[in-house]
Amino acid sequence: MITVRFQKTGNKPVAFTLSGHAGYADAGQDIVCAGVSSAVMLTANAVTEQFREKAKVTVEENKISLQLPSNAGVASHKLLEALLEHLTALSEDYPNTIKIIVSEV
């Protein structure tokens, strides 16, 4: 199962950490993992390369995290909110593959 932890301050997402595998199909054939990976990479690249945020991005084996800076723009927060909505929809379409945890910081 993929576990995604979003952190929000007020109503704005400020960080996420994602780890694990969906387990929907064999490695290389798992459409849930592919969809999640693509969405996360798009989000991280848009925040850092297109919006030029000084976000802290950490990539490890089976784990990625992104923390927005305290002065992040509205677009970056909205993009993280869109990622949360997208992953929520995937978790509903493919039950028992993605666990989403949202906490206030």
The answer to whether 80 and 6 are in contact (CB under 8 A) is yes
Q: Which of 28-61 are b and which e, b meaning 16 or more Cβ less than 10 Å from the residue's Cβ?
A: eebebbebbeebbeebbebbbeeeebebeeeeee
CATH code of 2-104, in short, is: 3.30.70.1490
Q: How confident is the model at residue 27 (pLDDT cuts 50, 70, 90)?
A: confident
Give pLDDT tens digits for 1-15.
999 999 999 999 999
> According to the model, what pLDDT value does residue 17 have?
98
Residues near 77 by Cβ (< 8 Å), separated by ≥ 6?
12, 13, 14, 68
Return the DSSP state at 46.
I
- Average pLDDT across the chain, whole number: 96
Tens of pLDDT along 42-59?
Answer: 999 999 999 999 999 999
Instruction: Write down the domain spans for the chain.
Output: 2-104
When pLDDT is averaged across residues 53-70 and rounded to a whole number, the result is 96
Within the chain, residue ranges assigned H as helices are 31-45, 74-93
Predicted confidence (pLDDT) per residue in 69-80, tens digit: 999 999 999 999
Helix (H) or strand (E) holding 5: strand 2-9
Q: At what angle do helices 31-45 and 74-93 cross, to 10 degrees?
A: 180
